[in-house]
Amino acid sequence: MNPIVVPGPDALAETAARWTAELMRAAADARGACYLALAGGDTPRACYERLSQSPFGTSLPWSKVHIFWSDERRVPLTHPESNYGMARSALLSRVPVPFAQVHPMPAQDPDARRAAEGYARLIEQVVPKDGGELPRFDLILLGLGEDGHTASLFPGDDALSEQRALVRPVQAARPPPGRLTITLPLINAARAVLFLVQGARKRSALDAVLRQNPAVPAGLVRPTAGELHFIVDREALPET
């Protein structure tokens, strides 16, 4: 796999925003809607902020966009660790996406399994299957942890081998521990998956993922009939 390599964080935000905007426009033009799952963590924040600005921002077909999350920490949506909260402040509060088309994970439901099952049902109701077995996102954005995790699919977690549920509760080894995550079958059903990776500390994990090493969770992301893309900064690129 050939990642798109950019010089640093600013270029990563610009390139990722442009890439995402183009995919959103193409999906809306082709099928009248765009179904997007946002990544959490810190890396995508600058991309979301850039996506809210000209020439993207309000020029994008937001009335046709449906926003979900790849994972969420089970904290209040206003908590600084909330992936919804980050995306809301960086992007969703700045663009005219219809409120009814923004679907935060039910992070505050005290019953984690009920929360996961409910979100899976919501995805099944909203995201078309296009003749396949599973709901098919137009784009799933993902980050990459130093240990090779992605979304909240961590090494050794039995959620990695989940073949039926679309969303699973997990206990992460890093704070906040309580998480909800989409699973590999749903990720691999997407039309496109885009990893955003920056920084030297991700080098080893990125090397494993680019080699599709199954020992790391992100190495198991292999869209069945979709595209897999990486936008990485030079610091994160494995040394050749």
Contact of 36 with 6, CB cutoff 8 Å: no
Backbone conformation region of residue 131, classed left if phi is above 0, alpha if psi is from -120 to 50, else beta: left
Nearer to ligand 6PG, 44 or 135 (CB): 44
Q: Which residue is nearest to ligand 6PG (CB)?
A: 143
Size of the site for ligand 6PG (CB under 6 A): 15
Of 12-20, 36-44, 94-102, 156-164, the segment contacting ligand 6PG by CB under 6 A is 36-44
Map tokens 């899976």 to a residue: 120
Task: Check: CB of residue 9 under 8 Å from CB of residue 45.
Answer: no
In the list 10, 29, 42, 130, the residue contacting ligand 6PG (rule: CB under 6 A) is 42
Q: Does 169 bind ligand 6PG (CB under 6 A)?
A: no
DSSP string, 122-171: HHHHHS--TTSSS---SEEEE---TTS-BTTB-TT-GGGG-SS-SEEEEE
Residues 69-98 that bind ligand 6PG (CB under 6 A): 70-71, 83
Smaller CB separation from ligand 6PG, 64 or 149 = 149
Residues in the chain: 240
CA distances to 116, 187, 192, 203 from 83, in Å: 16, 18, 21, 24
Task: Give the residue, chosen from 40, 135, 148, 217, that forms a contact with ligand 6PG under the rule CB under 6 A.
Answer: 40
Part in contact with ligand 6PG (CB under 6 A); list of ranges 35-43, 95-103, 122-130, 227-235: 35-43
Binds ligand 6PG (CB under 6 A): choice among 145, 169, 217, 226: 145
Q: Which of 149, 168, 191, 229 binds ligand 6PG (CB under 6 A)?
A: 149
Q: Quote the CA–CA distance of 195 and 80 in Å, as a whole number.
A: 23
Of 28 and 206, CB closest to ligand 6PG: 206
**CB of residue 81 to ligand 6PG, shortest distance in Å:** 8
> Which parts of this chain interact with ligand 6PG (CB under 6 A)?
39-43, 70-71, 83, 143-145, 149-152
